[in-house]
């Protein structure tokens, strides 16, 4: 079956390259829909979606953008317009993949159009920046970046091969058969860190045995936001939020914050959630020399060469507990909170480098004090990674998802 690939580019500067990729798509027996996001120079040919339509989709005009003569403003506007155009094409079923190529401006515009598309929809960006820090281009979506090696400036023996590879790759993604994983099972999202892995692994087994498909998100800031993006998009039936450690980074200033919406989206959408305080004993930093000087007197632990952990204090845990309660109190759907009393991670249990019962207790007490009536709170005399605690978490969520079945 033939597919249609949207190709986003600024035709005034990348017209030859866009046309080359379109021909590569067509040579594979498929169709290209070109979206022109250029502003200044005249395009060498007219796109399927011309630049005037892209500007209009952003609520402006080419004339207005040209008159202001602000490159940053123009890129921002055409990014918004390209995103709106591509999203509309996808919603109509008119495209089955998206491809783009460019430098900094082209990458900003191309990936903006990709990030509005659902996870699983083929997205490929050929970029001069793909070998550097690309987090802000990818964010929480499955954007594939291919390094251009040479600048996107003409067709030569290097660029021709790379652009052809890119076109063939996105066609293969779009035209390929989606793996058949059997009958669709309800999706459950859960959060995990290395120090909460035993808990999540055991809980996942229980959930899978009960007929759920479990998506595990690494609680690295981006992971938490990716999970909440899927919740917002309506994919997730229930949430087992074991590892809420990203809140500690948000509060204290670590590098793995998921931002102020963490632990709010499931509540806003009314999705059932079971919540715990996994890895609330730690704040994350990079290699030891990168830890801010203001934390010089704090308890630090070298998790590995790339990660330094800092133990949260009694005061910080009290604030974290209050913050968890405040965010859960606004939930429109059912919520249960399960708290371990003998350690919130592998490192916080007795004998671990972050063993500090007073700090953990401060978090538990603040949650207990702050939760509104109607939210079920259970405190278990185990550590978080005890199999009994993991099974209690899973059974609690199963009971919420199947109200007629009596569960823990």
The pLDDT tens digits of the residues spanning 288-337 come to: 999 999 999 999 999 999 999 999 999 999 999 999 999 999 999 999 99
Decide: 375 and 263 in contact? Cβ < 8 Å.
no
Strand 335-340 and strand 273-275: the pairing is: parallel
With bands split at pLDDT 50, 70 and 90, how would you rate the model's confidence at 52? very high
Decide: 56 and 81 in contact? Cβ < 8 Å.
yes
Decide: 78 and 105 in contact? Cβ < 8 Å.
no
Cα dist from 239 to 96, 187, 224, 231, 321, whole Å: 30, 9, 12, 9, 19
Each residue's pLDDT tens digit, 211-252: 999 999 999 999 999 999 999 989 999 999 999 999 999 999
Each residue's pLDDT tens digit, 99-120: 999 999 999 999 999 999 999 9
The DSSP code sequence of 84-113 is HHHHHHHHTT--SEEEEEESHHHHHHHHHH
Closest CA to 396 of 247, 207, 225, 201: 207
Which pTM value belongs to this model?
0.84
With bands split at pLDDT 50, 70 and 90, how would you rate the model's confidence at 403? low
- The mean predicted confidence, pLDDT, of the chain is 95
The reply to whether domains 4-175 and 187-401 share a CATH topology is yes
pLDDT of residue 268: 97
Segment 59-75 shows an average pLDDT of 94
Separation between Cα atoms, residue 247 and residue 255, nearest integer Å = 11
SS3 (DSSP) at 185: coil
Q: What fold characterizes domain 187-401?
A: Rossmann fold (3.40.50)
**Res. 406: pLDDT tops 70:** no
Separation between Cα atoms, residue 298 and residue 86, nearest integer Å = 49
pLDDT of residue 407: 44
Segment 391-397 shows an average pLDDT of 98
Give me 74's structure tokens: 């123009």
Separation between Cα atoms, residue 228 and residue 191, nearest integer Å = 11
pLDDT of residue 182: 54
Each residue's pLDDT tens digit, 298-308: 999 999 999 99
- What sign for the dihedral angle of Cα 66, 68, 69, 74? negative
Tokens 């052809």 map to which residue?
164
**Res. 384: pLDDT tops 90:** yes
Each residue's pLDDT tens digit, 161-204: 999 999 999 999 999 987 765 557 999 999 999 999 999 999 99
Name the residue ranges covered by the structural domains of the chain. 4-175, 187-401
pLDDT of residue 79: 97
CATH 3.10.110.10 fits domain 4-175: no
Q: What are the φ/ψ torsions at residue 97 (nearest 5 degrees)?
A: -170, 165
pLDDT of residue 184: 77
The DSSP code sequence of 43-80 is PSS--SB-HHHHHHHTT--HHHHHHHT-HHHHHHHHHH
pLDDT of residue 132: 87
Separation between Cα atoms, residue 153 and residue 120, nearest integer Å = 30
Closest CA to 312 of 254, 262, 387, 271: 254
Decide: 358 and 341 in contact? Cβ < 8 Å.
no
Give the single-character DSSP code of 269. H
Each residue's pLDDT tens digit, 16-48: 999 999 999 999 999 999 999 999 888 999 999
With bands split at pLDDT 50, 70 and 90, how would you rate the model's confidence at 408? very low
Q: Give, rounded to a whole angstrom, the gap between the first and last alpha carbons of the chain.
A: 49
């Amino acid at each position: 079956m033939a597919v249609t690939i949207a190709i986003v580019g600024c035709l005034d500067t990348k017209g030859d390259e866009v046309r080359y990729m379109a021909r590569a798509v067509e040579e594979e027996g498929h169709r290209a829909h070109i979206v022109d996001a250029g502003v200044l120079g005249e395009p060498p040919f007219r796109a399927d979606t011309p630049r005037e339509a892209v500007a209009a989709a952003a609520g402006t005009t080419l004339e207005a953008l040209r008159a202001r003569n602000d490159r940053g403003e123009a890129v921002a506007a055409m990014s918004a317009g390209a995103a709106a155009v591509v999203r509309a094409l996808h919603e109509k079923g008119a495209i089955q993949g998206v491809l783009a190529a460019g430098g900094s401006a082209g990458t900003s515009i191309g990936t903006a159009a990709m990030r509005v598309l659902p996870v699983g929809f083929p997205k490929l960006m050929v970029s001069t920046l793909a070998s550097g820090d690309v987090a802000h281009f990818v964010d929480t979506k499955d954007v594939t970046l291919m390094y251009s090696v040479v600048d996107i400036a003409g067709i030569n023996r290097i660029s021709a091969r790379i652009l052809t590879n890119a076109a063939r790759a996105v066609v293969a993604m779009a035209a390929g058969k989606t793996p058949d994983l059997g009958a669709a099972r309800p999706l459950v999202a859960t959060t995990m860190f290395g120090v909460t892995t035993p808990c999540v692994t055991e809980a996942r087994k229980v959930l899978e045995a009960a007929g759920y498909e479990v998506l595990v998100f690494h609680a690295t800031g981006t992971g938490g936001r990716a999970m909440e993006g899927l919740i917002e998009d309506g994919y997730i039936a229930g949430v087992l939020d074991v590892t809420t450690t990203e809140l500690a980074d948000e509060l204290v200033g670590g590098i793995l914050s998921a931002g102020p919406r963490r632990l709010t989206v499931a509540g806003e959408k009314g999705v059932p959630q079971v919540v715990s305080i996994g890895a609330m004993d730690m704040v994350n930093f990079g290699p030891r020399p990168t830890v801010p000087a203001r934390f010089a007197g704090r308890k630090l632990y070298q998790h590995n060469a790339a990660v330094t952990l800092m133990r949260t204090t009694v005061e910080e845990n009290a604030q974290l507990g209050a913050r968890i309660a405040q965010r859960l109190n606004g939930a429109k759907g059912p919520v249960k909170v399960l708290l371990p009393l003998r350690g919130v991670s592998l490192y916080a249990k007795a004998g671990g480098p972050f063993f500090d019962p007073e700090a953990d207790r401060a978090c538990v007490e603040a949650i207990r004090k702050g939760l509104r009536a109607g939210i079920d709170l259970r405190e278990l005399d185990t550590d978080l990674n005890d199999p009994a605690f993991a099974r209690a978490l899973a059974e609690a969520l199963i009971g919420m998802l199947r109200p007629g079945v009596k569960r823990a």
